[in-house]
Structure 1
Amino acid sequence: MTSVTWFKLVTVAGLLVGQILCKRQYIEMTHEIHDRVVTYPGMPKFNFTNLERGDKRGFWVEYNKFQLSEHAGTHIDAPIHFNQHGRYLHEVPLDNLVGPGVIVDITHRAKRDRRAEVNVEDILRWEDTHGKIPKGSFVIMKSGWFRKYPDTTQIFGVDVNRFPSTDFRFPGISPAAAQWLIDHREINGVGGDTPSPDRGGGSHMRTHLIILGANKVILENVANLDKVPPSGATIYALPINLHRGSGGPLRIFATLNDGEDFDYSGSGRSLPLTGATLFCVLFVKLMY
């Protein structure tokens, strides 16, 4: 076999390996919007109306209209939601909607205490394992509540049609932890798999006030957190561009960083995150 043939075989094999190693993985983190979409009691119900469906024009046409609260299902809170001088949704910069994922897992504690909270010690333990929280991160609580969706009684811990909000029982992020993140780390926002970062039945929306008061965003009712690693993913939290919105429906997903470059340094330069990325670059350089 000639050296040229060997070269071709090695090249093809290397490209195949590179494709496997460098393939970006996507993780859906959004609950579907349907007639059981979770909202706080008192919010408007989801309404979906078909306007046309069929081929009576000689070709297929289908379109609909829907009505939905800004703060329903998987959604984003813009700063204006609890901050009179904060940004509206259309004013949130795009680079505030993409960043490293910091998944803080309190699932075991939340099984014992439905009103468990992420505290400063949880954040410090995360950093002991994974390093300092990167600039522009989303710090997201994983409590296991995403598995209860869309059962409102399971999510809120009570029959929402019979009990006041002071009786709600679901986990959250403590105001002390929220304040520590604002004071000590440059985050894009916080989130969680519950209807609010404020635990059910307490804190008088203090976590909301701290995070939104600092012009950061909040991501609520986040899905599939069992599929997102504690660190190393990039979060894309992409809402509709609603003018003067206080929030809105969110399509949030994560990429696992095979082939993903993200500027953690703040320098404006893309830094490769994985050995797979480096392998792909080196292979191409060696072959060509």
Structure 2
Amino acid sequence: MLWVSEHGGTHMDAPSHVDPGGKTVDQVSLERLMGTAVVIDLSLSAHLDPDTQLQIPDITGWEAWNGQIQDNSILAVNTGWGRYWPNATRILGTPNHSDPSAFHYPGVHPNAASWLVENRPQVVAIAVDTPSVDFGQNKNYSVHRIFAKAGVPVFQNVANLDQLPPSGCKILAIPMKIEGGSGAPLRIFAILHEHREKQRDHFHLTTDLRYCHSASADISAGSQFLPDKRCLSVAVSICFFIFTQGLITCMGVN
């Protein structure tokens, strides 16, 4: 028997995770699992303050440089936290891994979440490189609830967001299709423009796959750290896609 954590490593939170009436993993539409990437860089702020949260001006500031968020977009928040994987103490901001009240890591502010839902419904999903879309000190999961109520899935512990440009690439997320699941292990990819291919001839894949020549890089997280030690989370390599146009970056960590 294989026990798999729905919420370990790089994973998707379905709306039903915090909303009893929300869609489960197998009910989330494919339209919410693929879209144009909107990558907002909070890495400097997060480096100075681990309790940094994405604010409305961060979103409107991105739009001032890149234009209004397009239809079918996935908003990804790069806090730089991916570089700490798999050091649980650095990721959680405390050596006390079993005490959520001591957690310190970046996230999305509830006001920004509400603003996105009300003013940018074209955002179909949210991706973060931290354990939760709520920052570490938010104990009522208000941001989870805001997105869940709007039917917006959340991708967490996403890796290599620092390798993506602010705009101009596509994200595809492939969760394990668990019937009735509130979450699922996630394989997530970014398709980059061809001109990026020559900047680097390979990206690091999941550790069991070593390297892949200029085709893909894994950006899904594994499960070395889980607050719930009773669960064993297994990163499953489902399949590879070869695209004749562009470069694929897999967005998970092992």
Q: TM-score range by the shorter chain?
A: 0.7 to 0.9
Q: Quote the sequence identity (%).
A: 38
SS of 1:204's equivalent? coil
Tell me by how many angstroms 1:68 deviates.
2.2
1:184 matched residue in structure 2? 119
What is the aligned residue count? 196
2:110 matched residue in structure 1? 175
Distance 1:244 1:257 in 2: 36
**Contact 1:152–1:160, Cα closer than 8 Å, also in 2:** no
1:165 and 2:100 matched:
yes
Q: Which amino acid aligns with 1:201?
A: Q
**Aligned 1:102-141 pairs, distance under 5 A:** 102-141=38-77
In structure 1, stretches of 5+ residues that fail to align are: 1-64, 260-275, 278-288
Distance 1:257 1:99 in 2: 15
Distance 1:160 1:244 in 2: 32
1:100 matched residue in structure 2? 36
1:89 matched residue in structure 2? 25
Tell me by how many angstroms 1:119 deviates.
0.3
1:9 matched residue in structure 2? none
Q: Which amino acid aligns with 2:102?
A: D
Length-normalised TM-score, structure 2? 0.74
SS of 1:209's equivalent? helix
2:138 matched residue in structure 1? 202
Distance 2:2 2:119 in 1: 42
Distance 2:65 2:140 in 1: 32
Structure whose CA Rg is larger: 1
CA deviation map 1:69-89 (0-9, x unaligned): 100000000110011111110
Q: Which amino acid aligns with 2:106?
A: P
The runs of 4+ residues in structure 1 deviating greater than 2 Å are 65-68
Q: Which amino acid aligns with 2:71?
A: K
Aligned with 2:12 (options 59, 76, 85): 76
RMSD (CA atoms) = 1.7
Q: Which has the higher helix share?
A: 1
**Contact 1:234–1:257, Cα closer than 8 Å, also in 2:** no
SS of 1:223's equivalent? coil
Tell me by how many angstroms 1:258 deviates.
4.1
Tell me by how many angstroms 1:67 deviates.
2.3
CA deviation map 1:157-183 (0-9, x unaligned): 11234x620110000010111111100
Length-normalised TM-score, structure 1? 0.65
2:81 matched residue in structure 1? 145
SS of 1:138's equivalent? strand
Q: Which amino acid aligns with 2:117?
A: I
In structure 2, stretches of 5+ residues that fail to align are: 196-244, 247-254
